[in-house]
Amino acid sequence: MLTIAGTSFRSRLFLGTGKFPSAGIMKKAIEASGTQMVTVALRRVDLGNPEDDIMRVLDRKQYTFLPNTSGARNAEEAIRLARLARAASGSCWLKLEVTPDPRTLLPDPIETLAATEVLVKEGFIVLPYMNADPILALRLQDAGAAAVMPLGSPIGTNQGILTRFQIEIIIEQACVPVVVDAGIGAPSHAALAMEMGADAVLVNTAISIAGDPVAMAGAFAKAVEAGRTAYRAGMGRVSATAKASSPESGRLSDDLGFLA
């Protein structure tokens, strides 16, 4: 079982709640995924449509809510959003996200580290979204991050795990759970992350924009489980040369020279 900051999770699939075609489909997809952790964002209330409230369809007792600081461009904005999130949720869980460039939405490592240091001191359970930088992962861990969340590829791109070798180093070195976040576009990408030894994956776009988000959520659940089981079973070594699967001795060619 996965444990982050003293809370245990049976499911290693975390779900984002953005961009679903409706609140009803989102609820069903969350159920189909088996997830126990969902991310949410904070935005201004639409004064013209004040009843639009995502939380009414989600059972807050059933899931750990992980509010994000999306939209923050620097540490100061992220800290302000974090405090609002805590006031709104009554919980200290936080996905720290600092993305100054709207074109790439890549995380700012310096501002992310600075915000982590402040928020950990304020008692937040900080899960920082980060580029797949093994040194930064150690720095965030030292600053008190409860987990690290390196990206597979930029947010919402569905490009999969383009940072494989860096994530492998992060997994090898980290003392805190590693959650691969962003860019996971297909169940096979999630399976790969889990086979590599990631502790969990966070998926949003690949499920929410699928033709059938509920079915896709189920597919991701299976992939994450398969990848985790494979990791625990011990993956075979990769080799540059062929290794026969069938026995080398007792071949017909040993007796029947013409087959040699």
The SS3 assignment for 127 reads strand
Q: Do 16 and 208 touch, CB atoms closer than 8 A? A: yes
Binding mask 91-130 for another protein (x = CB under 8 A): ----------------------------------------
Q: Do 4 and 169 touch, CB atoms closer than 8 A? A: no
Number of residues this chain uses to bind another protein (CB under 8 A): 37
Of 225, 230, 199, residue with least CA distance to 2:
199
Tokens, residue 213: 């988000």
What is residue 76's DSSP assignment? Answer: H
Q: Does 41 bind another protein (CB under 8 A)?
A: yes
Q: Which is nearer to another protein, 185 or 197 (CB)?
A: 185
Q: Which of 19, 27, 28, 95 is catalytic?
A: 95
As a whole number of angstroms, the distance between CA 72 and CA 155 comes to: 15
The SS3 assignment for 178 reads strand
Q: Determine whether 19 is an active site residue.
A: no
Q: Does 88 bind another protein (CB under 8 A)?
A: yes
Which listed range, 87-95, 130-138, 218-226, 231-239, lies at the site for another protein (CB under 8 A)? 87-95
Per CB under 8 A, residues contacting another protein are 16-20, 26, 39-45, 47, 50-51, 53-56, 65, 67-68, 70, 80, 83-84, 87-89, 155-156, 182, 202, 204-205, 208
